[in-house]
Amino acid sequence: MAAFFATAASAASALRTVHTGFRWLSSSFSETRIPVQEDGEFKITVDPISTIALVALMRFKEPDTRIGVNRSSVEIQQPSEFQNDYVNWQWLHRTIRGDSREDLAIIKDAITFAAKLYKPQDNEEVERLFQHARKGLDAIAATYDDKSGLTCSAIKSWQELIDVACDEGIESESELTPVAAKVQVLWSETEPKIICDLLDEAERRQGDTRIQVLSKCDTQIDAIEVYLSRKNGEFLEILQQKE
């Protein structure tokens, strides 16, 4: 009898998981991506600062967390929310939406675009954010088994691009176009510091052995994610404008 109830409980749990997973997956069909705006030399696909900050957050996420692209923004896909012994919901979600490793190339665009707009070689706070993103790229690379594969090689080249941007800078070859100019003022001079200070505090708390809780830096991470979500909303409004 005990075995029967255990089996029934397991089956019920599996059904609840399937129901939750399919309800979550159904949202994937309604999601759309806003087309890339080729604005002169500026390939505007995502808000560069928000993307770089999100990459920085990857070092605080659990193993097998992935990066995905959704409506001209980069998002973090954590396996614990959708993955279990029955179905790999993360894989299904990415497959339905057409996510692939090639989407990671958007990170290179964000680094290049941000370097041209915000000049980390001359801006201490933007440079701090770039360095946090460099550590985040290490975390992304760690999710792939083949360390000598194309994805990890590309990630290494993006880290080198960050080094160049911070040391020498990446100059624009032309004047800012109207869309690029609007994106440039999306972030004030002081806002990158807010994100960096939160990242610094998250890093400090994560390494503090006196804090005896699993979610040592959730407050800081949640604050950053809310901030970035609002910025992405403002960025989408810019892309949707005709002028």
Asked if residue 24 is part of any domain, the answer here is no
Asked if residue 82 is part of any domain, the answer here is no
The reported pTM is 0.74
d(CA 119, CA 55): 18
Residue 163: which pLDDT band, with cuts at 50, 70 and 90?
very high
Q: Is 64 left (phi over 0), alpha (psi -120 to 50) or beta?
A: left
Asked if residue 84 is part of any domain, the answer here is no
Please state the domain count of the chain.
1
Show Cβ contacts of residue 216 under 8 Å, excluding neighbours closer than 6 positions. 205, 206, 208
Count other Cβ atoms within 10 Å, centred on residue 8: 10
Asked if residue 204 is part of any domain, the answer here is yes
Asked if residue 152 is part of any domain, the answer here is yes
Residue 212: which pLDDT band, with cuts at 50, 70 and 90?
low
pLDDT by residue (tens digit) across 84-118? 554 444 444 444 444 555 567 888 989 999 999 99
Q: What share of the chain is helix, strand, coil (3-state, %, to 5)?
A: 65, 5, 30
Residue 211 φ then ψ, to 5°: -85, 110
d(CA 177, CA 108): 20
Asked if residue 7 is part of any domain, the answer here is no
Give residue 112's domain range: 34-61+97-240
Asked if residue 166 is part of any domain, the answer here is yes
pLDDT by residue (tens digit) across 44-88? 678 999 999 999 999 988 877 777 776 666 777 776 554 555 444
**What is the predicted pLDDT for the residue at 216?**
80
d(CA 169, CA 179): 22
